[in-house]
């Protein structure tokens, strides 16, 4: 088959097709490839085709595929209409790159909703992680999306920050391992445009996770060592190890330079040192923030020029629309514009969009929230639950010995999914999951207990509402009194407390806040907890939330505590299984639980000079990083090294035997930490996670778990900021949390 122009010939190399198409494009057509539209997917007064003709006469690079209010079939029709217009009514027929959010499932109606990111991190299971994001990619491609704005690789070191829920926690190593797994799930080993894969985006680059004061977009003032060893590390991993296709610049500034104009960050480091070959995209309206928040640009035109010259290739916003005039006026080099356009076109050619821009409606319906994906969501929810406390073996509950169970709390009957959620099909609340599991064998009582915020609606609806209003104290008083009466009628009480999508979320403007200066349970939940506890009934606390909570009273008095985070659409089923012992919880905390805001920063890998303590307060957190109990018990043998001394370049193997000493099968996450006992001049953390494995053991079963220990695990940045393995003694610590460890010494000799 002959093609009128070479760029339309799929048999030609991609670079030849790019060169041919660029040569045919007008300046207006090139600029159109570098911006997107936030709002085309929203219902409007005009038919979609009219809006397309009005807004995109020269085409468009990237279009939001999130379809608020549209079901699966309608969303497919929307995507196909956009692509049909671009193919048939624009001069060169360049298709759009349809993007979407995929933090814990495709953020679209009816798509499968998995546990929120912080919950997925609690599973400590990279293989599961890769399977989940492979499923997300399948659903996205089936509905016409090709490009996902995930994963979030921010290192969350201040839980006041409302976006903590979007992260994989506080540890750079854990985040890197899960980040690489997520990217491979989305893209495959290397993005090739496979029909069931999407291009992934590493965000937010960088140092976004410990903003000044814990408020979103605030400055990140950190030394280069902290940036490189901790905050940059997950991003470097997905560039070097997973071939990430895109990187998103962050809203914050680093040492005075906003990321969107940070030449060193986006060019020297990302492309120069790490060899990144994909494209850099702005965060939503991040280029606008250069003149309206950071004040390093006078207007949209100057912001666009500075951002692109600093390394931003495409924009989620409107400023890049000014680039055409800038090039025409000689204020901006055409060569830089062409390079950015080539980066976008390359993805479109790899995806085969010029040949196959449309998607099939029936296929989309079949794949969206299919039985396989629902089962995967349930498996993920099971593995994400963390048992924080189980005094006296209150859990699991034996239904045969109970007559009634009270399920109380503002998160009992509501489905909480967290931020960046769609509206999944048939989501299951905690209350509904317990009722289904209990059947007729157990009376289930319910009371709301108290409110969280005034607004009502689905998770997606709550998350986007700007105004957050506290509930009426008088109504709460009545609800608490009613909850106490309900508790008094029951044998056992399950309190389901925590956050909703308004009390912990992205604070994207002064009119849409989401950060808090307290880690206490919001509203009157503490009052509810104490009132129910005072009844004398056995109480189980289940947290459904987006960040660590300073639950000091509960940690001391409540016998059983579960951390669920946001468990996704199957959360109610998973909770019921754990509650009644069908599933043995094996999750571990990916983030430290401070006793109060005053303990922040509380991350475990502090320097020896930190954490001296405060007057009248304990130095230890409520629950440490890596903590998580089980319905069974595990015993660790003495760790063994196959060699006690390492020469330069060598690698040793550490092996430890882990035994299930209880009567139930269960999962344990075996964790390896390393400490450099005496460094030359550069101080080292008290311990660093350098390996982990989640294993399943039957009662009485023993398994040997091994970890490599060599240059990759032992090196750090020396005084000259170059990687070095210093000679001396290292402590290798292994156990079930960052505080429960046994250890062995390893000696490294100089070369």
Active site residues: 283
CB distance 28 to 58 below 8 Å: yes
Give the other-Cβ count within 10 Å of 629's Cβ.
23
- Identify the bridge partners of residue 734 per DSSP, sorted by sequence position: 672, 742
CB distance 62 to 201 below 8 Å: no
Which residue, 646, 653, 550, 633, is CA-closest to 594? 550
3-state secondary structure 697-747: ECCCCEEEEEEEECHHHHCEECCCCCEECCCEEEEEEEECCCCCEEEEEEE
Cα separation, 410 vs 136, whole angstroms: 29
Q: What token pair was written down for 112?
A: 């499968």
How many Å is the maximal CA-CA distance in the chain?
A: 82
Query: In this structure, what are the phi and psi dihedrals at residue 382, rounded to the nearest 5 degrees?
Result: -60, -45
Cα separation, 234 vs 170, whole angstroms: 11
* Gyration radius (Cα) of the chain, Å: 26
- Identify the bridge partners of residue 634 per DSSP, sorted by sequence position: 660
CB distance 455 to 465 below 8 Å: yes
Q: How many residues does the chain have?
A: 751
By the 10 Å C-beta count (0-12 exposed, 13-18 middle, 19+ buried), 683 is classed as exposed
Residue with tokens 């940070």: 262
Residue with tokens 């509203």: 523
Which residue, 388, 416, 375, 419, is CA-closest to 161? 419
CB distance 379 to 506 below 8 Å: no
Cα separation, 559 vs 556, whole angstroms: 8
Q: What token pair was written down for 453?
A: 């915020």
| 144-176 per-residue burial string, b: 16 or more CB within 10 A, e: under 16 | bbbbbbbbbbbbbbbbbbbbbbbbbbbbbbbbb
Cα separation, 170 vs 30, whole angstroms: 41
* Residues 6 or more apart whose Cβ sits within 8 Å of residue 96: 59, 60, 61, 62, 63, 82, 83, 86
Cα separation, 99 vs 77, whole angstroms: 16
The bridge status of strand 688-697 relative to strand 666-676 is: antiparallel
Cα 173–Cα 177–Cα 180 angle in degrees, nearest 5 = 135
Cα separation, 625 vs 590, whole angstroms: 6
3-state secondary structure (DSSP) of residue 187: helix
Which residue, 249, 295, 252, is CA-closest to 269? 249
Give the other-Cβ count within 10 Å of 75's Cβ.
29
3-state secondary structure (DSSP) of residue 63: strand
Q: What token pair was written down for 259?
A: 């990321």
Cα separation, 464 vs 501, whole angstroms: 9
Q: What token pair was written down for 155?
A: 């290192």
The enclosing H or E element of 254 equals strand 253-254
Query: In this structure, what are the phi and psi dihedrals at residue 21, rounded to the nearest 5 degrees?
Result: -65, -40
By the 10 Å C-beta count (0-12 exposed, 13-18 middle, 19+ buried), 86 is classed as buried
Cα separation, 747 vs 751, whole angstroms: 13
CB distance 267 to 205 below 8 Å: no
* Residues 6 or more apart whose Cβ sits within 8 Å of residue 715: 723, 724, 725
């Amino acid at each position: 088959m002959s093609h009128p122009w070479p760029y339309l010939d799929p048999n030609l190399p991609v670079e030849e097709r790019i060169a041919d198409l660029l040569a045919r494009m007008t300046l207006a057509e090139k600029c159109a490839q570098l911006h997107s539209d936030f709002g085309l997917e929203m219902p409007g007064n005009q038919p979609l085709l009219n809006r397309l003709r009005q807004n995109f006469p020269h085409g468009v690079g990237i279009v939001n595929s999130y379809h608020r209010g549209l079901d699966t079939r309608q969303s497919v029709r929307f995507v196909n209409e956009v692509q049909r217009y671009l193919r048939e009514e624009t001069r060169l027929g360049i298709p759009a790159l349809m993007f979407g959010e995929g933090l814990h499932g495709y953020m679209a109606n009816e798509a499968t909703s998995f546990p929120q990111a912080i919950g997925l991190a609690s599973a400590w299971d990279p293989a599961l992680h890769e399977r989940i994001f492979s499923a997300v990619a399948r659903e996205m491609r089936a509905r016409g999306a090709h490009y996902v704005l995930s994963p979030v690789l921010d290192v969350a070191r201040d839980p006041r920050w409302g976006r903590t829920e979007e992260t994989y926690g506080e540890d750079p190593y854990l985040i890197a391992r899960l980040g690489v797994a997520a990217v491979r799930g989305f893209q495959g080993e290397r993005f090739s445009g496979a029909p069931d894969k999407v291009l992934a985006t590493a965000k937010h680059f960088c140092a976004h996770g410990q903003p000044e004061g814990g408020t979103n977009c605030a400055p990140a003032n950190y030394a280069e060592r902290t940036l490189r060893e901790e905050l940059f590390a997950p991003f470097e991993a997905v560039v070097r190890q997973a071939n990430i296709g895109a990187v998103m610049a962050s809203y914050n500034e680093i040492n005075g330079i906003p990321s969107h104009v940070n030449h060193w960050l986006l060019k020297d480091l990302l492309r120069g040192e790490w060899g990144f070959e994909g494209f850099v995209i702005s965060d939503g309206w991040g280029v606008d923030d250069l003149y309206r928040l950071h004040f390093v640009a006078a207007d949209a035109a100057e912001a666009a020029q500075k951002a692109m010259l600093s390394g931003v290739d495409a924009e989620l916003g409107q400023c890049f629309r000014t680039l055409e005039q800038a090039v025409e006026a000689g204020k901006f080099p055409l060569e830089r514009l062409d390079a950015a356009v080539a980066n976008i076109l390359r993805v479109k050619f790899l995806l085969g969009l010029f040949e196959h821009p449309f998607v099939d409606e029936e296929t989309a319906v079949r794949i969206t929230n299919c039985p396989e994906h629902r089962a995967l969501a349930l498996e993920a929810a099971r593995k994400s639950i963390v048992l924080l406390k189980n005094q006296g073996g209150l859990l699991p509950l034996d239904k045969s010995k109970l007559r009634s169970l009270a399920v109380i709390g503002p998160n009992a009957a509501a489905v909480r999914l967290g931020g960046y959620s769609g509206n999944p099909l048939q989501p299951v609340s905690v209350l509904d999951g317990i009722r289904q599991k209990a059947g007729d064998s157990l009376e289930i009582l319910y009371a709301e207990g108290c409110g969280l915020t005034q607004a009502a609606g689905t998770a997606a609806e709550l998350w986007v509402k700007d105004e957050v209003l506290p509930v009426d104290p008088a109504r709460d008083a009545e609800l608490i009194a009613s909850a106490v009466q309900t508790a008094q009628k029951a044998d056992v009480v399950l309190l389901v407390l925590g956050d909703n999508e308004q009390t912990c979320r992205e604070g994207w403007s002064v009119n849409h806040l989401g950060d808090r200066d307290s880690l206490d349970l919001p509203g009157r939940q503490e009052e509810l907890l104490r009132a129910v506890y005072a009844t004398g009934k056995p109480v189980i606390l289940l947290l459904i939330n987006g960040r660590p909570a300073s639950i000091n009273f509960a940690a001391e008095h409540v016998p059983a505590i579960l951390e669920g985070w946001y468990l996704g659409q199957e959360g109610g089923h998973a909770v019921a299984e754990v509650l009644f012992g069908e599933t043995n919880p094996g999750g571990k905390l990916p983030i430290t639980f401070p006793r109060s805001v005053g303990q922040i920063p509380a991350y475990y890998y502090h320097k020896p000079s930190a954490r001296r303590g405060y007057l009248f307060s304990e130095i230890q957190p409520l629950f440490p990083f890596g903590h998580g109990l089980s319905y069974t018990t595990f015993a660790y043998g003495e760790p063994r090294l196959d060699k006690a001394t390492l020469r330069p370049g060598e690698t040793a193997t550490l092996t430890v035997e882990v035994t299930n000493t209880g009567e139930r099968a269960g999962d344990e996450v075996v964790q390896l930490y390393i400490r450099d006992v005496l460094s030359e001049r550069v101080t080292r953390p008290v311990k660093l996670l350098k390996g982990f494995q989640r294993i399943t053991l039957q009662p009485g079963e023993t398994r040997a778990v091994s970890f490599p220990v060599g240059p990759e695990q032992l090196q750090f940045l020396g005084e000259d900021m170059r990687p070095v393995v210093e000679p001396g003694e290292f402590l290798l610590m292994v156990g079930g949390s960052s505080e429960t460890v046994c250890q062995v010494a390893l000696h490294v000799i100089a070369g």
